[in-house]
Amino acid sequence: MADHGMAMAHVDGKVAFVPFAAPGDLLEVEVVRRRKRHLETRLLRVLEPSPLRREPRCPLFGVCGGCQWQHLPYAEQLAGKAASFRGFLKSRLGLREDHRFRAPLAAPQEWGYRNRVGLKVRTLEGAPALGFFATGSHRLVPLQHCPVAHPRINALLPSLTGFLLTWSPARGSLPQVDLQIDGDGGLWGVFHLLKPPTSLEAAALEEFLRGQGVASAWLQTGRKHTLAPLWKNAPAHMPFSVHAGGQEFPLAVSPGGFVQANPAVNQLLVDEVCALSAHYQGATALDLYCGAGNFTLPLARNTAAVVAVEGYPPAARDAERNVARAGFEAVRVFPQPVAAGLSRLAGEHCRPRFALLDPPRDGAGDAVDGLADLGPEWILYISCAPPTLVRDLQRLCARGYHVEWTRMADMFPQTAHVESLTLLRLGDRL
């Protein structure tokens, strides 16, 4: 197995990357691109299937761009992702010691785990259709069921598709619908529109969604600041929670705010943070890119103080509200970009012992130098993109840090997506 859900073979002395293949397959492929050191191919036929192969659960597998590995048993997926992640860090960072790679965190569920989906809406054969994009394109693949999505989302899809056939904005003014399951099992929707609906159109959508038992629905007609509730007195915050030290911490999150799409694996990440409490016990800790406080509250249980920094204003307000609700008086939330927050801390001569980073896919490039200037002894970097993780780790290592350990976490079974945790320590490697 290789990166991005590919399998790897050798043809005429070159590496050949093959999508939707399995170790042990005998395949007929077409070379679609020749590179200096490798070939990119398209799978034409499976001549002799590998004994590892299984029947994909979704009939759209291989067409829809959402999943890459449904044809492999979950144990093989997990091992393939872990090996790919390990090989990537070894080649890019020179991280040779196997003991620095901890066993991967497996997802408790391989199906029905995803509590958030972004569905595309396009007109096909004169009628609105709902689905995901095809692999490597913007061509819509219509669907009415997704096996990795939460059952509550799947229950809505057929009726939502039927409603859109008669709802005028779906014909060119509705590019996307986001569906989210909250921690109590309630269903939320965000409808992205190119222009505001008329009062009659809004009323029709409200009537449909209320009839389907949707907890709350919001309209977005531009950037996120345009989010507005579809109906009066709709709940304004999605309820979630995390557990730490035997205690449940409620998290209220505004629509449009970030929540991990796999709550069970998110809890595993929180557990990993709690397991490191000896590194921040009684000290000052930073939570950078803190969102609504997913890691802030577990950290605050054992620290003298936490500074949480979040650049998206609604998320920062959510964090402030969640911290106040939990009663943590020694937590400060900085509602500003992380680089600016780090500069502010430098001006206060803050000397944290521990820092947690959970940046978006672009990584923490704007924050690495400012964080290194503060010199925390320990840094836990939670990443959803290995390339930007490696880039940032290289810069931190150049500033005197070294990797204590790293661990892959499987947030999205059936896909090539890789989440990870990496613990760094300032000073000489032991």
Lowest mean pLDDT: which of 209-213, 231-235, 375-379? Answer: 231-235
Domain boundaries, the chain: 1-53, 116-229, 262-426
pLDDT of 133 reads 97
pLDDT of 136 reads 85
Band (pLDDT 50/70/90 cuts) for residue 430 is: low
- Same fold for the domain at 1-53 and the one at 116-229? yes
Tell me the residue type at 249.
F
Instruction: Please give the average per-residue pLDDT across 26-41, as a whole number.
Output: 94
Residue 359 has pLDDT above 80, yes or no: yes
Give, in words, the CATH class of 1-53. mainly beta
- All residues at 6 or more sequence positions from 395 whose CB lies less than 8 Å from its CB, including other chains: 365, 368, 369, 372
Number of Cβ within 10 Å of residue 213's Cβ equals 11
Q: Which residues are catalytic, by number?
A: 384
The candidate with the shortest Cα–Cα distance to 299, out of 340, 347, 357, is 357
Band (pLDDT 50/70/90 cuts) for residue 344 is: very high
Residue 429 has pLDDT above 90, yes or no: no
Pick the CATH number of 262-426 from 2.102.10.10, 3.40.50.150, 3.20.20.70, 3.30.930.10: 3.40.50.150
Q: What DSSP element (H or E) covers 206? A: helix 199-211
pLDDT of 12 reads 85
pLDDT of 29 reads 95
User: Tell me: the pLDDT tens digits for 268-319?
Assistant: 999 999 999 999 999 999 999 999 999 999 999 999 999 999 999 999 999 9
User: Tell me: the pLDDT tens digits for 7-26?
Assistant: 999 988 899 999 999 999 99
Instruction: Specify the residue for token string 């095809």.
Output: 134
Instruction: Please give the average per-residue pLDDT across 188-201, as a whole number.
Output: 97
Name the percent of the chain lying above pLDDT 90: 93
Q: What predicted TM-score, i.e. pTM, was given to this entire model?
A: 0.95
Tell whether domain 116-229 is in CATH 3.30.390.50.
no
Residue 195 has pLDDT above 90, yes or no: yes
Q: Is-contact 303 280, C-beta < 8 A?
A: yes
pLDDT of 5 reads 83
- All residues at 6 or more sequence positions from 266 whose CB lies less than 8 Å from its CB, including other chains: 242, 260, 294, 411
